[in-house]
Amino acid sequence: MYITLKEWDNARLQLEPIVGSNLKGTTYQLNASYAAIFSTASEMSKEIIFAVRYKAGANGEGNSFSYEYTNNGDARNVRASAAYKAMFEASDVRKAATYDATSSLAAKFLDPSAPQRDAGNDFPVIRFADALLLYAEALNELSTTPSTAVLAPLNEVRKRAQAAEYTTITLSTKETVRNAIYKERQLEFGFENQRWYDLLRMDRTQATTILNAYLTATGNPGITVPDYRFVFPIPQTEIDLSSGKLVQNKNYN
């Protein structure tokens, strides 16, 4: 919540006990293997802070997305785009674990042995890598210029991915660090439903440009995202219950 509200110091105070003084954590820490995060053999590892839990073949306690992400499940364009695939460095181990090189379909959360629409893969909602990158984001926004301490949590994630680490020479301004963190979140959390919340925190013009470019690239050039769509309308029932104290968000009247 503090990150979304851009209350950076409050966010820092919440994150510091989680990431620990050396960014290794105690209760939580990075898995040695990125791919293992999504394996049914290593669920609820120390990387996972919170996950939606599923159990295969247990009277509806399984998930459906493990099947729906495949061609058999009609993946509906839920694929890695050419632009997304080009973002990964050749050495980055997340590339093979995120999407299938042949089909571009998601490679996370797959459980071929499970019944259709009743798989056992958990869905991670918050994991230690997220805490590290949010911590880096908070530190960057609280700093005037990049420093080794600001880049350290970002580089901790990149080291696990076997990607090149950043320095204050390669990232010399606050804006370049901010954009590097956003990019890292794309690479780290592909197909994990994090992107929209990152777009909400971006500069609004930057986020709108990204969304409109996506719509054009996916065959919807006539559709653009107006500014007011970045927030939902307030339900009319809530407005009625407030006796006029709540006013509908702009352009939803």
Cα–Cα distance between 69 and 191 in angstroms, integer? 10
Structure confidence at residue 180 (pLDDT): 98
Same domain, 163 and 210: no
Q: Percentage of residues in the chain with pLDDT exceeding 90?
A: 85
pLDDT digits (tens, 9 = 90+) for 127-173: 999 999 999 999 999 999 999 999 999 999 999 999 999 999 999 99
Same domain, 146 and 250: no
Residues near 66 by beta carbon (within 8 Å), at least 6 away in sequence = 109, 110, 111, 114, 119, 121
Structure tokens given for 36: 């293992």
Same domain, 179 and 211: no
Which of 154, 171, 193 corresponds to the end of one domain?
A: 193
Beta bridge partners, 99, equal: 106
Question: Which CA distances in Å does 218 have to 67, 77, 192?
Answer: 23, 9, 20
Is there a domain that residue 145 lies in?
A: yes
Q: State the sign of the Cα–Cα–Cα–Cα dihedral 211, 179, 195, 230.
A: negative
Structure confidence at residue 57 (pLDDT): 83
Question: In the chain, how many domains are there?
Answer: 2
48-51 long-range contacts, Cβ below 8 Å, gap at least 24?
48/122, 48/124, 48/126, 48/127, 48/128, 49/18, 49/125, 49/126, 49/127, 49/128, 49/130, 49/131, 50/124, 50/125, 50/126, 51/122, 51/123, 51/124, 51/125, 51/127
**pLDDT average, residue stretch 32-40:** 95
Structure confidence at residue 196 (pLDDT): 94
Cα–Cα distance between 105 and 96 in angstroms, integer? 11
Is there a domain that residue 35 lies in?
A: yes
Helix ranges (DSSP H) in the chain = 8-19, 65-68, 82-85, 94-98, 128-142, 148-161, 174-188, 195-201, 204-217, 236-241
Same domain, 247 and 167: no
* 234 pLDDT higher than 90: yes
Is there a domain that residue 1 lies in?
A: no
Range of the domain at 41: 8-193
Structure confidence at residue 36 (pLDDT): 95
Cα–Cα distance between 56 and 214 in angstroms, integer? 35
Structure tokens given for 75: 């993946």
pTM of the model: 0.93
Is there a domain that residue 246 lies in?
A: yes
Is there a domain that residue 2 lies in?
A: no
Same domain, 188 and 210: no
Give the pLDDT band of residue 59 (cuts 50, 70, 90): confident
Question: Which CA distances in Å does 60 have to 51, 56, 116, 118, 172?
Answer: 18, 8, 11, 6, 51
Structure confidence at residue 76 (pLDDT): 82
Tokens 């073949």 belong to: 57
Same domain, 214 and 114: no
* 195 pLDDT higher than 90: yes
Is there a domain that residue 222 lies in?
A: yes
Return the CATH number at 166.
Answer: 1.25.40.390
DSSP 3-state assignment of 106? strand
